[in-house]
Amino acid sequence: MLALALFSSAPYLEVMRHLVEGLRGQELLGEWHIPAKSSLFRARQRLGSLPLRVLFATTVKPMGTEAMPGCFWRGLRLLAVDGTCWDVADCPANEAAFGRPGNSRGHDKSSFSPGADGLPDRGGHPSRAGC
């Protein structure tokens, strides 16, 4: 599922082909065949976000050291506040998950861009936390 996110512009089956190309050359796949696109979609739904949450929690660590300029000030690690917005499909499921932005007339039906805020480390810029 991580590969699907990394190669988001490529079709599902093309991403799968890239992943298994090396294994096929070493004859490690046996009779295995690339699954149908719908199977990959259902697998992604079954997995949900937990694998990426675990990956984030186990790999994101401070990268900057006191020897790196701009990472510390008077012995304190420097962090920054950053944010972003994503364009997502305007559908009932996304509205239920993220809500809808308001405006002076109530809800704005013309735009739908949930956002996230992060706390990146100044030395190397991995995000330390997010919401």
pLDDT by residue for the chain (131 residues), tens only, comes to 667 777 778 888 888 888 887 777 777 777 777 888 888 778 878 888 888 888 888 887 777 788 888 888 898 888 877 777 777 777 888 888 877 766 666 555 555 677 776 777 766 655 555 54
Hey, where are the domains in the chain? 1-59, 62-131
* Under 8 Å between Cβ of 80 and 122: yes
Q: What angle do CA 78, 81, 82 make, to 5 degrees?
A: 130
pLDDT of amino acid 129: 57
Q: What is the pTM of this model?
A: 0.44
